[in-house]
Amino acid sequence: MSNELTGFGEQPEDRLDLDLATTALLAKEEDLPMLLKMLAGQLQVSLSDRLTVEKEGGLFKKSDNIKSIEVAMGSDTFRAEVVKGRVTCSVGHTSGGIRIRSEQVGIDEWIKRLLDGLRAEAEHSQRARQTLENIVYGGYA
């Protein structure tokens, strides 16, 4: 399997350019709620125990539309929420089990940080590596 994605033992210039990957993701999905749905589906593969997906609808109304997703990776928590078709994103940082800060970020920065966290996981997890490759190169689940 190629090391081009995570840079295992490679020179820094061989590592995945997260800005380029983020731009490619945003270019593929003009509909940001649909992009979140795709990301949730891909992340379910390797991060199911650290992924929370809330869907629209209620007790009697089922929907496949994503209301929010939250992903815990390392000391960071990535949250994206869809409100009236707009996506708001935040990244929280935890230390010693206590959230010490949370910052609002744009979706491009959120995706970049999420991919960077997934890349760090991919260094020791084949499932995370495959998920990252699927997200970046378009192997939709």
For the chain, give every domain's residue range: 14-137
The per-residue pLDDT for range 50-78, each reduced to its tens digit, is: 999 998 876 677 777 889 999 999 899 99
- Closest to 141 measured CA to CA, from 29, 37, 23: 37
**What kind and span of H or E run contains 134?**
helix 126-137
Phi, psi for residue 53 in degrees, rounded to 5: -120, 125
Low-confidence ranges of the chain (pLDDT < 50): 1-15, 139-141
- The identity of residue 100, as a single letter, is I
**pLDDT recorded at residue 89:** 94
CA 18 to chain centre: 12
Is the Cβ–Cβ distance between 123 and 116 less than 8 Å?
no
Report the predicted TM-score, pTM, of the whole model to 2 decimal places.
Answer: 0.75
**pLDDT recorded at residue 108:** 86
